[in-house]
Homo-oligomer: A and B are copies of this chain.
Amino acid sequence: MSNNLEDLVSHLPYRKVTTQEWVTDILRTAILKGYYQAGEPIETAELAAKLNVSRMPIRIALRELAKEGLVAMEPHRKPVAARLNPDEVWKICDIRCELEALSIRKAISKINDDHLKQLFSLVRKMDNIKDIDEYIRLNNEFHNIINTLSGNEFLLGMINQLRNNVERYLRVYLFNYRGAMHSANVDHHEIIKAIETKDEKLADQVIRQHLYNTTSKVSEFLEQLNGR
């Protein structure tokens, strides 16, 4: 793994509540940002030393993230950063389609001009950005606005968890195909258009297409990465 975890730690703003939470957040972003590659074992002792805490909060954090699908744990085995194959990415896509479609349908009636302005601003920024991390951050914020407006906190949580599960792969994909970053953004313009006109059916359709598009690219990329 890349060993500039210390970097991540120092740059992560945090109001400490419990060490468990702190460690969990650090580990989550570490995995999402690719400090651990998919399938790579996570050395708890090493991590404990680096973060200057005991093994206990690490163990708890690992289980937390295992439940979120970011870590794979088996009894008496080293925990590893979770790995997805193209099949699984598609299965997650199927679920996300239903959930995000539901979410945008719910959100559409509650959206106002202020939200639209925010969404516009985000898309405009994404159009001109170079940095991948920043692009993903803005992208997440874009979808978060919509999914929060759905008013269903369970739905929001589940969607975000699924988004996290594929984020790592999206990041690696974007890193290899820089152009894809901006081509994905045309979908966002369409989503805004659908929301603007309060066209539930169109929004439903557009968001599904958006997910399908990115999943195709990511899973395709994954396949050639796995060399078959």
Contact B21 A75 (CB under 8 A): yes
Q: Confirm or deny: A153 has a beta carbon within 8 angstroms of a beta carbon on chain B.
A: yes
**A18-B75, A21-B75, A75-B18 as given contacts; A155 in contact with B95, CB under 8 Å:** yes
Q: Give the interface of A toward B (CB within 8 A).
A: 17-18, 21, 59-60, 63-64, 67-69, 75-76, 88, 91-92, 94-95, 98-99, 101-102, 106, 152-155, 158
A95 and B102: CB pair below 8 A?
yes
Chain B residues near A154 (CB-CB < 8 A): 69, 88, 91-92, 95
Q: How far is the CB of A60 from chain B (nearest CB, A)?
A: 6
Q: Report B-chain residues with C-beta under 8 Å of the C-beta of A158.
A: 95, 158
Collect the chain B residues with CB atoms within 8 Å of residue A67's CB.
Answer: 64, 67-68
* Docked pose: A60 CA to B75 CA in angstroms: 13
